[in-house]
Chain A
Amino acid sequence: MLTQTPTPLNEDALKVRVEDVQLDITFEQLKRLVSPRALTGETMLMNMGPQHPSTHGVLRLLLELDGETIVNCIPDIGYLHTGIEKTAEGKTYLKAIPLTDRTDYLAPMSNNMAFCGAVEKLVGIEVPLRAQYLRVILLELTRMNSHLVWLGTHALDLGAMSVFLYCMREREMILDIYEAVSGARMMSSYIRPGGLWRDVPNVFFDLVQRVLDVFPKRLIEYEKLLTKNPMWKDRTVGIGKISAQDAIAWGMTGPCLRATGVKYDVRKAYPYSSYDHFDFDIPTGTNGDVFDRYKCRMEEFNQSLKIIRQALKRLPPGPVMTSDRKVAPPPKHEIAYSMESLIHHFKLWTEGFKAPEGEVYFAVESGKGEYGVLLSGDGTSKPRRVHFRAPSFHNLQPINEMARGQLLADLVAIIGSIDIVLGDVDR
């Protein structure tokens, strides 16, 4: 990730310093990571994380500091590696869904959608329109959920502590919706291959309406507290800049990429789940700095509300699960009198459905960026290989580019603005 030219060093002195920071890498590797000045004691090597208040989990950054100026910022990931991709290989397609909840645990429905979309693409399942529209509503709520946590933690990182609690207050409304539809406040597993687990309850519409009514007022509050606050601008404008070219080269997606002015959004570029039925804009920035990323996400709140309003208005009646009995379990009450239903039920819950041999890639625009699933089927009911293209991981990669030359306090702003979830980075 780093391109420092190795220069002859005072090896003994550096060895002491390697012990000092306790890296799991060898001395030779470290030499390539830090600048030669680290050796003479001119710059300071410092660990930020894995236990640090503003690394958003167990991210570890090895910092080379010149005073408070960052010379190098070397991310060290893997502290939350849970082997989700490998575990998914041993599960049937249905049983792998709860695993996807746990990658980016702040946007579980987006992950469900990406995985289920991939399975649907691989197997060739048609999803009823009502399920597609409900998915859109839930995905946009999920985006707001993800953005609310980002806004709260980002503001808290920069010291505006009340905003964090206000965001959690608003997030509660969305978690209530999660609870009402799926029965869980975070690990929803609500989106299933072929549609949704169940139709939404009646109370769902009231709860969504509450979000639509309350949220615009809250957005104005955030604007007053942050967007218009000159102290907030001082901390964000011109910090952590990255050019559009670099952002694309590093594979950044989502608001981080759009802040640089690139108008790329999976919802528009490769529409899924009937996103092309709705009218919405993609907010972009110009400078690619922390403030532009902030502005993009704040505008996405409005766009999400707009999409939800449209989808609610045009929500068609009908089933929410495909009628293909080879994929979706039959309505449960049928199994008491229909032998065929009983067989399907047992078959699907034990062996699961079989997917054909082949490889598909399916991506959704999660709150953090392009969340893709690469699914390789081998003809059995379990995938041969699952890979999650985690937006957090790709957005974290260029942190050295963004942080180099900035102050330690700016690094905190940068980490906050790229909106990483370590469950997503390490998987």
Chain B
Amino acid sequence: MQNFWEYLTKIPVGLATVFKTLFEKPVTIQYPEEKKPMSPRFRGRHQLKRYEDGLERCIGCALCAAACPADAIYVEAAENTNEERYSPGERYAKVYEINMLRCIFCGYCEDACPTNAIVLEPIEFPTGYTRESLIYTKSMLLEPPPPGVPGTPQQTPPGKYDRAILPFPPIDESV
């Protein structure tokens, strides 16, 4: 009898709880049209950054490849010349490939990069139909040069870019 009373009184409480949700706003969103804002720290797709003058930040040191726990990065460096300059300093990344199928998006490459060249940005994720299409090459990863600035290679005056690592401000840990 006790049990019967419980059935009679407690089940409507549960039903009412569910019914209340009917008047709440749905928490799901219409994904491709509507996107959830991502946190500034979000580790999305990699991007190779440039300086304001259009030169690439990447100096081809391959520390990212060394730091990668998944061995997803392949870097082949070559020498810069003043006639054909890609990045400050002596060397630049001639080949820069990330295998997005291996990548685990841990952000170690970003942490390791001494020039802040590779950054995991909260942008669209790599998708594709074939394995080959998911090996991202340098041209796919490199961000476009700022407006009104030529891309790389550039012809530069000798002596202007003799340092590979240019000073940059500390990371802002409040965002």
Contacts and interface: CB of A to CB of B under 8 A. Distances in A.
B170 interface: yes
Given A169-B27, A172-B27, A229 B169 contact: no
Nearest to A346: B63
Interface of A: 91, 94-96, 98-99, 162, 166, 169, 172, 176, 179-184, 187, 189, 197-199, 201-203, 221, 224-225, 228-231, 329, 331-333, 335-337, 342, 345-346, 349-350
A238 B1 CA distance: 20
A162 B112 CA distance: 44
B114 A179 contact: no
A198 B39 contact: no
A230 B7 CA distance: 6
Given A198-B41, A337-B167, 9 more contacts: A179-B39, A179-B41, A184-B107, A201-B39, A221-B17, A224-B17, A230-B10, A331-B170, A342-B165
25 contacts: A94-B108, A95-B108, A176-B39, A179-B41, A179-B42, A180-B41, A182-B41, A183-B39, A187-B105, A198-B41, A198-B171, A199-B173, A201-B174, A201-B175, A202-B174, A202-B175, A224-B14, A229-B14, A230-B11, A332-B170, A335-B165, A336-B166, A349-B63, A349-B108, A349-B111
A336 B41 contact: no
B66 interface: yes
Contacts of A336: 165-168
Contacts of B70: 98
Interface residues of B, number: 42
Contacts of A337: 167
A242 B104 CA distance: 40
A354 to B, nearest CB: 16
The binding surface of chain B is classed by DSSP as loop
Interface in B51-69: 63, 66-67, 69
Nearest to A320: B173
Given A91-B69, A98-B69, A349-B112, A230 B21 contact: no
Contacts of B67: 95, 349-350
Contacts of B173: 198-199, 201
Given A183-B120, A184-B105, A230-B7, A95 B69 contact: yes
Interface in B133-175: 165-171, 173-175
A40 B27 CA distance: 54
Given A183-B42, A183-B107, A337-B167, A229 B10 contact: yes
A329 B40 CA distance: 22
B89 to A, nearest CB: 12
A350 B174 contact: no
A172 B67 CA distance: 31
B171 A333 contact: yes
Contact of B13 (A199, A203, A224, A350): A224
Contacts of A99: 69
